[in-house]
């Protein structure tokens, strides 16, 4: 018997295998699960907007255990981002090449704040409209108990989400598809569709809204080669959503949930 020939490190076959394997245990599998959740919600009796889904939920009735499990979730997301960075580095694309070296006030931070405003403000309005039109479930960004560490873990979760998503869904996926010869438009669409898919558990509106966000973020990355502004923008959006909801939930009447 002849030994099976293995693909070289950067053969098209090895890149395709890498993409499938990484997506199967990260956001690709999350996308499939979200599609099933959306189908299940649509088949349930009653309006879609009458159903609720929570993002940051208690993991234990014991406060210290809950705190540690929240931190484990943060580490898991950071590990996903680290995996994307490592795979890019192995392929010859270091952090500097994707605009993820040391952050600078200009253009990284200022662009990130600007992108957060461009996406976040219309995104909130779009969510409220989608709920009113019964195109979205009611999203509860946090149902954690009111304890001292809640804003800490919510902030860390927001940052970890932003790192994992922007590294894997934008920088890593677009770069690997580019290595396969995909055009910018085709790889951009794939990245945006992936982002929209794993938010479908929140409803049709969330899927469409995140697809649009993916198109904007992906195109920004393709044209500037800067990842830091996307991570900063995403983190700011999630911090406002997670921490802001927890702080305002019992004090305003217009916020669903």
User: What pLDDT score does 103 carry?
Assistant: 82
Q: Does 167 fall in a domain?
A: yes
Q: Does 172 fall in a domain?
A: yes
Q: Does 1 fall in a domain?
A: no
Q: Does 184 fall in a domain?
A: yes
User: What pLDDT score does 200 carry?
Assistant: 95
Q: Does 85 fall in a domain?
A: yes
Q: Give the separation between CA 22 and CA 36, rounded to whole angstroms.
A: 20
* Residue 138 and residue 51 in contact, taking contact as beta carbons nearer than 8 Å: yes
Q: Give the separation between CA 162 and CA 105, rounded to whole angstroms.
A: 18
* Residue 87 and residue 10 in contact, taking contact as beta carbons nearer than 8 Å: no
Q: Picking from 35-44, 147-156, 188-197, 240-249, which range would have the lowest pLDDT averaged per residue? A: 240-249
Q: Specify the number of domains making up the chain.
A: 1
Query: What number of CA atoms fall less than 13 Å from residue 140's CA on the CB side?
Result: 14
Give percent of the chain above pLDDT 70.
93
Label residue 6 by pLDDT band (50, 70, 90). very low
For residue 125, the enclosing domain spans: 28-248
User: What pLDDT score does 250 carry?
Assistant: 62
Q: Per residue in 58-88, is it b (16+ CB within 10 Å) or e — as a string? A: beeeeeeebbeebbebbeebbebbebbbebb
Q: Give the separation between CA 104 and CA 229, rounded to whole angstroms.
A: 10
pTM value > 0.85: yes
Query: What number of CA atoms fall less than 13 Å from residue 236's CA on the CB side?
Result: 19
For β-strands 52-56 and 138-142, DSSP reports them as parallel
Q: Does 134 fall in a domain?
A: yes
Label residue 174 by pLDDT band (50, 70, 90). very high
Terminal alpha carbon distance of the chain: 64
Q: Write out pLDDT tens, residues 77-100.
A: 999 999 999 999 999 999 999 999
Tell me the pLDDT of the chain averaged across its residues.
91
- What are the φ/ψ torsions at residue 26 (nearest 5 degrees)? -125, -115
Summarize the confidence of residues 228-256 as an average pLDDT: 83
Label residue 239 by pLDDT band (50, 70, 90). very high
Mapping DSSP onto H, E and C, the string for 135-147 reads CECEEEEECCCCC
User: What pLDDT score does 254 carry?
Assistant: 54
User: What pLDDT score does 1 carry?
Assistant: 45
Nearest CA among 218, 232, 226, 214 for reference residue 112: 232
Query: What number of CA atoms fall less than 13 Å from residue 223's CA on the CB side?
Result: 9
Q: Does 233 fall in a domain?
A: yes
Q: Is the pLDDT of residue 253 over 70?
A: no
Longest CA pairwise span in the chain (Å) = 72
* Residue 56 DSSP label: E
């Amino acid at each position: 018997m002849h030994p099976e020939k293995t693909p070289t490190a950067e053969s098209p076959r090895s890149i395709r295998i890498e993409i499938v394997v990484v997506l199967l245990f990260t956001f690709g599998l999350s996308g499939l699960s979200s599609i099933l959740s959306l189908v299940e919600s649509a088949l349930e009796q009653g309006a879609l907007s009458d159903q609720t889904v929570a993002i940051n939920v208690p993991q234990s009735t014991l406060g210290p255990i809950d705190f540690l499990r929240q931190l484990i979730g943060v580490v898991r997301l950071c590990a996903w981002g680290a995996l994307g960075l490592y795979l890019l580095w192995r392929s010859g694309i270091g952090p500097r090449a994707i605009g993820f070296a040391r952050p600078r006030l200009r253009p990284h931070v200022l662009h990130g704040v600007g992108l957060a405003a461009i996406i976040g403000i219309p995104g909130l309005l779009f969510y409220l409209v989608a709920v009113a039109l019964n195109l979205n479930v009611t999203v509860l960004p946090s149902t954690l108990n009111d304890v001292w560490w809640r804003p800490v873990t919510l902030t860390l979760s927001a940052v970890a989400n932003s790192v994992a998503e922007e590294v894997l869904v934008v920088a890593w996926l677009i770069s690997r598809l580019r290595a396969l010869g995909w055009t910018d438009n085709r790889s951009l669409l794939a990245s945006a569709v992936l982002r929209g898919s794993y938010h479908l558990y929140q409803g049709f509106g969330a899927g469409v809204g995140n697809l649009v966000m993916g198109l904007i973020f992906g195109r920004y990355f393709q044209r500037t080669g800067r990842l830091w502004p996307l991570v900063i923008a995403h983190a700011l959006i999630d911090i406002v959503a997670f921490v802001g909801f927890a702080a305002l939930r019992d004090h305003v009447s217009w916020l669903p949930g």
